[in-house]
Structure 1
Amino acid sequence: MKVLGSGQYRFERVESWPNVPKYFEMGQPSDVAINSSGEIFVLSRGKHPVTIWTPEGDFIGSWGDGMFSATPHGIFIGKNDNVWIVDCGAHVAMEFAPHGELLRTLGNKNSASPTCEGRLVHAQPFNLPTNLAIAPNGDIFVADGYGGHKVHRFNSKGELLLSWGRQGREPGQFELVHNVWIDSRNRVLVCDDENDRVQLFDTEGKYLEEWTLGNPSGICIRDDIVYFAQLQPFEDKSNGRGSGSISLYNLDGVLLSSWDNTAGGNKDTLIGPHDLCVAENGDIYVCEVYGWRVSKFRKIQ
C-alpha cells in the first residue's frame, strides 16, 4: 500500500474504480458529487453524461443522454438530493430531480451573455459558466467562469440578487472563475484558477482575503476541511500526461496534507485532477480529465 498525504489525512488509491460495465463508455469525466445515500454521481462528456455508482464502484444507472452540450462542466447535489448541472457550452445551470427530470434552468440555453472581455461589470449571466454551490439559506452561487469572470448570487427561487467580479488580477477580479463553495463561516471561496489563488468573499461580494494556491480547479468542503484539486498544465503533450495535486486546508488557510502526481513513486497517481468530492467517511473521489478516469482515494482510518 502506497500512503498518500500525511498526519491525520492519509489515503491510499483504490485501483480500478469504478467497475465500468462491459461495452459501456463513460466519456471524459469533469466533476463528481455524492448524495445523501452515499451514491456517487459522475458528470462526463460523452454518450452517458450522468452516471451513478455505489461506493464500491458498482454501476447503478445513468441519465442525461443528449441533454447537454459537448462540455458539461460542474455537478452539485443539494440537501434535497436534487442534482444541479452547470453546462459550460450551453451557458446554463440546470436543476434535476435525482432520477433526471429537468426541474428548472437558470440562464438562456445556448445564448451567452456579452461578457467575454469582462468589461460589463453588471452583465447578466451566463458566459461559459463552470460550477455552483448552495449556501445553507438556499442561495445559489454560480461561477461564471471562462467568459463571464464573475460570481452570481441567486435566491432559492432563482432570482438574481447580485453579481461581482471582472477580468483581471487585482483583488476581486478573476482570470478564470473555475469553482465556488460556501464554508461554515458563510464565506464564499472562489477558485481563481489562472491567477493561482483562492479568493474569499462575504456573501455580499466583499473581498476578504486570498490564499495562494497553484491552479485551484476543484473544491469541496467537508467537516470544515477544504479539499482542492489542482489541475496543472500538460507536462508532455505528446503522451497526454498532465501533472496535478490534491491539497487539504483548514478554514484558516493552513495546509494539512497534500500529494501530487508523483506521490508513491508513480507518475500516474494523478493525471489532471479537475474536480473532486468527499464522502462522509473521508474517502475522496477525483475526476481526472487528462487521464479520462475517476479515481477513489480511500482514507486510512
Structure 2
Amino acid sequence: MSTSSSYNSRRNFLKQGAVVAAAASIPSFSFNIISRPVLGDELIGHGAFKYRVHQAWGNLNPATTPVNNCHEMVQARNGKLYMITDDTHNNVIVYDKSGKLLDSWGTTFKSGHGLTLAQEGEEDFLWICDPHWENPSVVKMTLDGREVLRLPDPRTIGVYEKDDAYKPTETAVGPNGEVYVADGYGSQWVLQFSSTGEFIRKFGGKGDGDSQFSTVHGVTVDYRDATGPTLLCTSRGHNAFKRFTLDGEYLSTIFLPGAYVCRPVIDDDTLYAGVCWSRLRYLNQTPNSGFVTILDKEGKVVSNPGGTRPKYRKNELQLMLQDKPIFKHCHDVCVDDDKNLYICQWNAGKSYPIKLERV
C-alpha cells in the first residue's frame, strides 16, 4: 500500500470515528418518567393469562399533559380509554388503544381517585371520587366532562358526625341505578344512595370483624352468579375482598394473602385487581412493590402477572409475593375489548399507564 493510500485510509477512519463520537454526544430525549426494566419478548403471568409488557404505551409529553398518580382507567362503549389522575392540569386523560392522546379535561379534582363507568341506556357516564380533605366529592359526569349529579357529603345530612372523616375512593352502580360509595380513606363505611342522590343506608365501618373493613378501597357489583348480583368490596389491609348483598348483609370473604389489593374489576367471568403493595415474606407493605392478580369465577387465583405463581395447599391460597420489579404500587387494572390490560400506578414517579398485551 502506498503512503498516500495509507494516509487516506487513516483519514477516513478518523472521520468515521468523529461522526460516531458526535452522534453519541447528542442527548436523547424521551418522555419516560421513570426507568423501568426492559423485558423484550419476556412474558409475565401464568396459565392462560400471560401478557407481553408495553412499558411506554401510555407515555405522553409531561410538559403539556402531565400526570401525578395514575389512579384508575375504564373503557367506554365508544372504545376510548378514560383515565383519572390527580394532576389538575388534566384530571381525565382520554386515550385510544394505541396509546394516542385523544382528549383531556378537568381541573378541579385535587385528589382525583375513583373512576367508574355507568351505562344508562345508550349513554355512558363517569362517576368520579375525590377524597381530598378540602372538598371530598362524588360526582357523576358525562364523557366530555359535564357534571350531572353530585352526592351529598354524609356529614351534612346527619349520616356522619361533623368531625368524622369522609374521603371517598370508589363507587359502584347497582342494577336499579343505586350508587354505592366506598369511604376507603375515611371512616370505612360503604354508603348507599338512590340514583337521584338520596341516602339509603351505610354498612361496614372500620374493624376486623367479617362485616368490617380495613381500607375499603374499592367496590363493584358482581353479576356472575345466576342467583343474582352481589357487592364485592375491597378490604385492602385484610388482603381480601368481602362479599355483601345489595342491602349490605355480609356473605363471605376471599382471602388473598400477601396482596394489598385495590378495587375488583370484573370482565366476563374473570376478576382482576391491582396489588398496591406486596409483602417481603413476613414484612408488611414492601415499598415500591406490587403486581396484578387474576381470579376465576369461583374466586381462585389463576395468574399473578409480575407476582409469584399462585399456589394452593389443601384448598388454601399460600402467600403471594412480587416476583419481578416491573410495577410500583399497581392501583388499577382496565380490561379492554381485546382482553389486554392497562395498569395504573400510584406513587410511581409520575409514570403513565403500562399496557399488558394478552398472548
Instruction: Bin the TM-score by the shorter chain.
Output: 0.7 to 0.9
What per-residue deviation string (whole Å, max 9, x for no partner) do you get for residues 27-74 of structure 1?
221111111112111111112111100010000111112x122x1211
- The structure carrying a bigger helix percent of its residues is 2
SS in structure 2 of the partner of residue 182 of structure 1: strand
Cα 1:59–1:262 shift into 2, 3 Å: farther
Mapped to 1, the partners of 2:56 and 2:93 lie a distance apart of 16
Looking at structure 2, the residues matched to 126 and 50 of structure 1 have their Cα atoms a distance apart, in angstroms, of 26
**In structure 2, how many angstroms separate the alpha carbons of the residues matched to 1:290 and 1:52?**
21
- CA deviation string 1:235-269 (max 9, x = no partner): 8xxxx961111111123211111123689x99441
The match for 1:117 is none
Q: Please say which of residues 51-60 and 181-190 is displaced more in the overlay.
A: 181-190
What is the aligned partner in structure 1 of residue 3 from structure 2?
Answer: none
Aligned 8 A contact 1:234 1:242 in 2: no
What TM-score do the two structures reach when normalised by structure 1? 0.87
User: RMSD of the alignment, in Å?
Assistant: 2.4
Partner of 2:93: 51
Percent identity of the aligned residues?
Answer: 24
Shift in CA distance, 208/55, structure 1 to aligned 2, threshold 3 Å: same
Q: Which residue of 1 aligns with 2:103?
A: 61
Of 186, 203, 209, the match for 1:164: 203
Matching residue's letter, 1:27: N
Contact 1:19 1:59 in 2 (8 A): no
Of 293, 299, 306, which residue of structure 2 is paired with 1:253? 299
Instruction: Give 1:26 shift.
Output: 2.3
- Structure 1, unmatched stretches of 5+, are 115-119
Write the deviation string for residues 4-23 of structure 1: whole angstroms up to 9, x where unpaired.
11222111111311141462
Amino acid at match of 2:130: D
Residue 218 of structure 1 and its aligned partner are, at CA, apart by 2.8
Pair 1:169–1:222, CA change in 2 (3 A): same
Rounded to whole Å, the distance in 2 between the matches of 1:10 and 1:84 is 31
Distance (Å, rounded) in 2 between the aligned partners of 1:129 and 1:289: 17
Whether the aligned pair in 2 keeps the contact of 1:261 and 1:269 (CA below 8 Å) is no
Q: What TM-score do you get using the length of structure 2 for normalisation? A: 0.74
Residues 308, 323 of structure 2: 8 Å contact kept: yes
Corresponding residue pairs, total:
284
In the alignment, is residue 93 of structure 1 matched against residue 129 of structure 2?
Answer: no
Counterpart in 2 of 1:231? Answer: 276
Change (3 A) 1:2 1:218: farther
d(CA) in 1 for partners of 2:323, 2:165:
40
Which residue number corresponds to residue 160 of structure 2? 123
Looking at structure 2, the residues matched to 126 and 62 of structure 1 have their Cα atoms a distance apart, in angstroms, of 31
Aligned-pair distance for 1:199? 0.6
Q: Kindly indicate whether residue 340 of structure 2 is the aligned counterpart of residue 283 of structure 1.
A: yes
Separation in structure 1 between the aligned mates of residue 160 and residue 297 of structure 2, nearest angstrom: 32
Q: 2 CA distance for matches of 1:253 and 1:11?
A: 21
The range that moved more, 288-297 or 49-58, is: 288-297
Q: Do residues 84 (structure 1) and 84 (structure 2) align?
A: no
Task: Note closer, same or farther for the CA distance 1:224–1:106 as it changes in structure 2 (3 Å cut).
Answer: same
Higher strand share: 1
The structure-2 alpha-carbon separation of the partners of 1:208 and 1:266, relative to structure 1 and needing over 3 Å to count, comes to closer
